[in-house]
Structure 1
């Protein structure tokens, strides 16, 4: 990858990380204010729970997309150790693994889209936003990860087994 390719990606990652940080900050502030009002003054902000839930769902799925793009998603070290020893097996399984990733993304996108359609007809109780906003990030995440997996499959990109941390 040359440096001209890295600049847009770096800016995009920076923007997405800042969006996630903003979601986290708003959630923390909303929950903190609600706790202080509830225990200190016997009142609270009814919208705090809805805002926090909505932002948390969006933040999780944005983070999942970024983690996949960076090859920082969860791995199973037992499988990795076995595959590192058998490179020829790993090369053959790479296509299968990518196809399974794409299939999982299609299934997730389909289910999430069905939930988006269901949510179009209803609104949240307190704020009144369309409840289609809750499953929408799952759909967008599945599309993004599916597109990345397809791109990696078409480029014959090998699986990245260089994870620094062990996960069991």
Structure 2
């Protein structure tokens, strides 16, 4: 695996900070809501909607950040058996990258359709455009698809650093 560049480290820190901010705001909103509900008999309805929106964004930011770091779940035991057969490994690498790109296209297409549908409606409590809920899925699919396409074009080998693990 190549050493991370300063730019990729900066992007990784940015995604970590965004996820931490989402988690912090969610935790604070839920905590305040719980205290108000149990202590005073009334809560803030917006905290549930805000937490749901931030959770969706946090998950997809994390998914996009995990791809270049090789942190997604992988079934490397099957592909690991091909390590000593370079031709078969090359074919499997291309197949896996094509499957990742195909999955990203399908996820992106579905998310795009939901974004378009959500443009015309607003959330019940906070009033934000409902398109903000599927938007991170579209952005994540685009980011991972582009990264997989770049890896495919550059003929980057699969990272089997954890091939001995059973996953």
Q: Could you tell me the TM-score, scaled by structure 2's length? A: 0.92
Residue 11 of structure 1 deviates from its aligned partner by 1.3
Report the counterpart of residue 67 of structure 1 in structure 2: 66
Q: Quick one: structure 1 residues 29 and 167, their matched pair in 2 at CA, closer, same or farther if it must change by over 3 Å?
A: farther
Greater mean alpha carbon deviation, residues 57-66 or residues 155-164:
155-164
The CA RMSD over aligned residues, in Å, is: 2.1
Q: Which segments of 5 or more consecutive residues in structure 1 lack a partner in the other structure?
A: none
Give the structure 1 partner of residue 88 of structure 2. Answer: 89
- Alignment match, 1:79: 78
**Larger fraction in helix:** 1
Cα 1:34/1:85, change in 2 over 3 Å: farther
Per the alignment, residue 150 of structure 1 pairs with: 149
Checking the alignment, whether the CA contact within 8 Å between 2:77 and 2:164 is kept in structure 1 is no
The 5 A counterparts of 1:10-159 are: 10-84=9-83, 86-159=85-158
- What is the DSSP-based 3-state SS (H/G/I as helix, E as strand, rest coil) of the residue aligned with 2:67? helix
Q: Secondary structure at the match of 2:54?
A: helix
Shift of 1:83: 3.6
Residue 86 of structure 1, CA deviation: 4.5
How many residue pairs end up in the alignment?
Answer: 167
Q: How far apart in 1 are the matches of 2:163 and 2:91?
A: 24
